[in-house]
Each structure stands twice: as C-alpha cells, then as structure tokens.
Structure 1
Amino acid sequence: MRFDGRSYAVVVNGQDVSEHVAAVDVHAVPHDLPRVVLHLRPTGAWPTELDLLARVEVGVSPEPGPAAAAFLEALDPLELERAALGRMDLENVSGGGTAAVLRQLAEWARGA
C-alpha cells in the first residue's frame, strides 16, 4: 500500500489495483507472517495477470492452533482443576477426570 498524505493506493507487483479494492485488512501476530486481505468491490474484476502473486483463500477459516494455544496459556491450572472436579457431570471412570477438564475447557472457550 502507498500513502502520499492525501490518498492511498493498493499496489500489487507494481500495478495499481485500487479501483478493484473496497477495503484492506492487515493482521499480524508475533512469530507469524502478516496477512493482508483485499476485499474486492462487488462489481470489480480482479486482473487475471495478478492471480499468481498471492495465496487466495475463499471461505477458509484460519487455523485454530495459535488461538487455541493462546487460550490455553492464559488459563490458571488450579482454577481449571477446581472447576473440572466440581462439575456435576464428573464421572468416576477411567478418563473421567480428563473428560471433565475437556468439557470445562470447551465451555470456557464458548464463553460459558
């Protein structure tokens, strides 16, 4: 992207594609490549000569791994253990404690 103080231009491989772009999102997290999403205008046609310059994802959700890792790293292990052991659905069977922990994590991940 170029900005001259008054206006901006979206440039891909030296070609100005601003007329095709409605919005630009930039997302960056530490230790990962930044992701730039170009939202095309509904009536715009993307220049076919630029198709090979970027990875195109249509309707693909981002990988959940980094978000899941950040969620898990933020948890207090003692709080998780107390919550899992206090669950009404805790079963006294092999794997019952682990199942309770997983159910608790799923509830917290959903915001419950």
Structure 2
Amino acid sequence: MTFDGRTYRVVVDGQDVTERVAAIDVHTDAHDLPRVVLHLRPTGIWPAELDLLARVQVGVSPEPGPSAAAFLEALDPLEVERAALARVDLENVPGGGTAAVLRQLTEWARGA
C-alpha cells in the first residue's frame, strides 16, 4: 500500500487492485502484529484471484515476556493456590503442585 497524501494504491502480488478496494482497515495494539483488512467493492463477477480469504502477517511476533509479566502481576497468589489445589488433575508427586499451578495459569491465560 502506498499513500501520497491524496490518493492511495494497493498492489497484491504485483497486481494493482486499487479499483477493487472499497476500504482499508488497519488494526494494531501494543502486544500484537498489525492487521490490515481490505474491503472489496461488490461486483457481479469476482476475479478468481480475489475470491478467497487470506491472512497475511508481516513482521516478527513481539516477545511474550512483558505480556506474561503483566498477566502474572495481576494475579492474586491465594486465588492461584486455591485453584491449583482444587484441580482434579493435581498429583501427589514431586513437581505435582507446580504442574497444577502451571496448568491453571495456562487455562486462565487462554481465557478458560
């Protein structure tokens, strides 16, 4: 995509698709790669090369460390302990308590 202050141009795989694009949305936040969505103009016949959905990511994923640290700092240690000790998969073996805590944190991080 290029923009000169007045007009824009969109090229996909060397093909200018500017006339087929109705709008462009750019989404980004501090902990993820930017995402660009091209909204195509409605036509009676879709060109075969645009008749699909695609997700393209450019760049390197950010390091998870800062996000993980913020997640862990927000937790109540007593709630983590209670949840881990209440798990049905808690094992009375060396490392079993730590494994239960890690499984619990993983579930919470995934929103479960």
Residue 40 of structure 1: aligned partner: 38
Structure 1 pair 28–104 and aligned structure 2 pair: CA distance change class (3 A): closer
Q: What SS is found at the alignment partner of 1:106?
A: helix
Provide structure 1 residue ranges, at least 5 long, that are not aligned to the other structure.
1-9, 44-56
Tell me how many residue pairs correspond in the alignment: 87
Conserved in 1, the CA contact under 8 Å of 2:91 and 2:97?
yes
Structure 2 CA distance for partners of 1:13 and 1:72, relative to 1, 3 Å: farther
2:22 and 2:40 in contact (8 A); partners too: no
8 Å contact from structure 2 (residues 35, 57) kept in 1: no
In the alignment, which of 50, 56, 59 is matched to residue 58 of structure 1? 56
User: Which residue matches 1:88?
Assistant: 88
1:22 counterpart SS class:
strand
1:39 maps to amino acid: V
- The reply on whether 1:17 has 2:8 as its aligned counterpart is yes
Percent same amino acid among aligned pairs? 53
The TM-score with structure 2 as length reference comes to 0.52
Q: CA deviation at 1:12?
A: 3.4
Return closer, same or farther for 1:70/1:80 CA change in 2, 3 Å cut-off: same
Instruction: Give the deviation of 1:85 after TM superposition.
Output: 1.6
Check 1:108–1:64 CA distance in 2 against 1; reply closer, same or farther (3 A cut). farther
Stretches of structure 2 lacking an aligned partner (at least 5 in a row): 10-17, 42-54
1:42-81 deviations in whole A, cap 9, x for unaligned? 47xxxxxxxxxxxxx8157954715433322221111101
CA contact (8 A) 1:21 1:38 kept: no
